[in-house]
């Protein structure tokens, strides 16, 4: 059975088109929707659809706003996991529009992959999208092209520093759902976490065909950006604190991944994660060497160099300047948990956890294994 997961919040304006496009699929689907406390009429619209399609649309209304799509989607995955009939999971944004054959095309490819790799192999499949404006006029024929993403950059090392997978264009099989349904301590976004999990334990494949329309408008949580444009590069220069905060969260996401999966990771991936978490302890020159050796590359060389000089030092990770009015308690706790030494995770259950004090030691071990 195919289950579509959708997290909604204040999405009434475009929600009807998206729901209609999903219900018009040429393959039967069910939709599980979790609304995060909307008060703009979204809930009433969802209730209408649940009444019209009682065998396809299922709702969960949160009593309080949780403050993010990631937690909402992790709840949805946990619920989907409870039913063994949910073999394939699609993720849906609330404001896109799907081609009516999207599920059929992606489901066929997923089954081909499972036939070759086995159903026990965790698989993440995602497609390209057409970027459109709020009135559905085309901005760019390819989301990947517009955002200058390289779908081939899906190794564990590359995904540690930058997500390449758009959740609303993705589907996963049950084997991957079983691995990533548990919400981690820290997560930048649910689709990033799913991509990391798939790269570590399974397979990621990109379909270059645009199977949905990605609507770009003023209320997008993240939105598509022309990363190579002068305007976007200039805008980044004025977001220093925000960029630093994002790097903190990215590194803490790495620690959370180690805490959850360390025993299951192979030696190569453990060493990659150690090297990644050593970045805050290194000089700019040491970081550059680490990045080159372990392929911690972002989509452009300029972005990679910017990361090299922007990642917070270890002491700043442990003792940030906290603005109590604008910083959540969870963020403060994340920073306070940062280890004093560049080991992977401070977890008593972790076995065989040698410290990595210098990247050179990591390189030596990798050379010996090679």
Every domain of the chain and the residues it spans: 2-215, 230-369
H and E: helices and strands count for the chain: 16, 9
Residues 2-22 have pLDDT tens digits of 999 999 999 999 999 999 999
C-alpha of 138 from chain center: 25
Phi-psi region of 41 (alpha: psi -120 to 50; beta: other; left: phi over 0): left
Residues of the chain predicted below pLDDT 70 = 64-67, 219-240, 315-370
The pLDDT score that the predictor gives to residue 68 is: 81
Q: Helix axis angle, 240-261 relative to 267-277, nearest 10°?
A: 150
Contact between 191 and 169 (Cβ < 8 Å): no
Kindly give, in sequence order, each residue whose CB lies less than 8 Å from that of residue 234, ignoring residues fewer than 6 positions away.
none
pTM given for the model: 0.83
DSSP state of 135: T
Q: What separation in angstroms does the CA of 2 have from each of 104, 107, 168, 293?
A: 10, 9, 15, 41
Q: Collapse the DSSP code of 124 into the 3-class scheme (helix H, G, I; strand E, B; otherwise coil) and give the result.
A: strand
The set of residues, in sequence order, having a beta carbon less than 8 Å from that of 274 and lying 6+ positions away, is 342, 343, 344, 356, 362
**Strands annotated E in 99-194:** 123-132, 138-140, 170-173
Please report the pLDDT score of residue 240 as a whole number: 66
User: Tell me: the pLDDT tens digits for 303-335?
Assistant: 888 888 888 887 666 543 333 444 344 444 443
Q: How far apart are CA 307 and CA 81, in angstroms?
A: 37
CA 125 – CA 207 distance, rounded (Å): 7
Q: Does domain 2-215 have CATH number 1.20.120.430?
A: no
**How does 132-156 read in b/e, with b if 16+ C-beta sit within 10 Å?**
beeeeeeebeebbebbebeeebbbb
How much is the pLDDT for 67? 62
Do residues 11 and 37 lie in contact, with contact meaning Cβ atoms separated by under 8 Å? no
User: Helix, strand or coil for residue 153?
Assistant: coil
């Amino acid at each position: 059975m195919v289950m579509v997961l959708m997290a909604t919040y204040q999405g009434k304006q475009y929600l009807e088109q998206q729901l209609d496009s999903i219900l018009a699929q040429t393959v039967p689907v069910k939709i599980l929707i979790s609304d995060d406390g909307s008060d703009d009429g979204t809930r009433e619209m969802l209730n209408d659809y649940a009444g019209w399609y009682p065998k396809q649309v299922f709702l969960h209304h949160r009593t309080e706003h949780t403050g993010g799509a990631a937690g909402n989607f992790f709840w949805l995955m946990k619920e989907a996991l409870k039913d063994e009939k949910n073999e394939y999971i699609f993720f849906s944004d609330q404001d896109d529009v799907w081609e009516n054959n999207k599920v059929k095309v992606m489901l066929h490819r997923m089954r081909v992959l499972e036939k070759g790799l086995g159903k026990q192999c965790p698989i993440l499949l995602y497609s390209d999208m057409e970027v459109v404006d709020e009135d559905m006029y085309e901005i760019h024929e390819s989301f990947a092209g517009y955002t200058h993403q390289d779908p081939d950059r899906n190794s564990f090392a590359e995904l540690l520093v930058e997500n390449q997978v758009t959740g609303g264009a993705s589907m996963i099989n049950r084997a991957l759902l079983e691995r990533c349904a548990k919400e981690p301590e820290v997560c930048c976004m649910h689709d990033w976490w799913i991509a990391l999990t798939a790269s570590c334990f399974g397979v990621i494949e990109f379909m270059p065909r645009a199977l949905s329309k990605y609507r770009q408008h003023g209320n997008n949580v993240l939105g598509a950006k022309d990363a190579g444009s002068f305007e976007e590069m200039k805008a980044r220069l004025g977001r220093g604190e925000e960029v630093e905060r994002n790097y903190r969260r990215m590194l803490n996401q790495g620690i959370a991944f180690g805490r959850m999966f360390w025993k299951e990771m192979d030696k190569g991936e453990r060493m990659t994660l150690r090297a990644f978490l050593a970045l805050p302890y290194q000089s700019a020159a040491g970081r550059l060497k680490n990045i080159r050796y372990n392929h911690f590359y972002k989509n452009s060389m300029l972005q990679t160099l910017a990361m090299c000089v922007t990642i917070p030092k270890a002491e700043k990770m442990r003792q940030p300047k906290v603005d109590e009015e604008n910083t959540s308690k969870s963020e403060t706790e994340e920073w306070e948990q940062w280890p004093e030494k560049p080991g992977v995770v401070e977890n008593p259950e972790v076995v065989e956890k040698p410290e990595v004090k210098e990247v050179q030691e990591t390189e030596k071990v990798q050379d010996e294994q090679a």
